[in-house]
Amino acid sequence: MPACLCVVRHGETDWNARGILQGWLDVPINDLGREQARQLAGSYAPFGFAAVWASPLVRASETADIIVAALGLPPTSLHDGLKERNFGAQQGVPKARLAEQNPMLLRQIVGRDPAACFDGGESMNAFADRVLAAVREIGARHGGQRVLVVVHGWVMDVVTRHVGGRARDAILGHKRKNGESIWLDVDGEIIAEGHRP
């Protein structure tokens, strides 16, 4: 029986608000991000999640932990495969500075173009492979259960392309907001768009 995964983007950080690229840098959620997590917990109460998984980066794990505490769920499990894309030398760079230094890269980032190349960062294929492997692994562990998975914006992009049957290099043109979710049915190797219960 397939697992039903609710994949949600973490709460807001100060760097989200200020337009600074985070990647693998560990930036905590801010007051608004904590409030977003509490609101998510309230909206998720009826779904009866059996488990919560998150990226080990603090903005995702803290969001998950707030939801876990509010709903009385088992402790959050962490999975490295759910981490944000490694943005290499561009991590910690404000988008305003990037607009001056590399306007083409900024356009790619804003347009959610997977062709964006980051100096010393992760390739799109390596990133997508690890994200989809993590989603499949979590699905395999939780067949027939509902599971909450707290991740990052570019992780959401990989999942969106995959379930929509789009190529890995398809440009999405928009990003998921903090706290926005997508529901998946995961059955073995198959990851399909699911429906909110």
Active-site positions? 10, 84
List, as own/partner pairs, every contact residues 66-75 make where C-beta atoms lie below 8 angstroms and the sequence separation is at least 24, other chains included.
66/11, 66/34, 66/37, 66/38, 66/41, 67/37, 67/40, 67/41, 67/148, 67/150, 70/38, 70/41, 70/42, 71/41, 71/44, 71/45, 73/49
Closest CA to 192 of 120, 152, 139, 155: 139
CB-based contact 151:10 (threshold 8 Å): yes
Q: Are 76 and 53 in contact (CB under 8 A)?
A: yes
Within 10 angstroms of residue 174's Cβ, the number of other Cβ atoms is 11
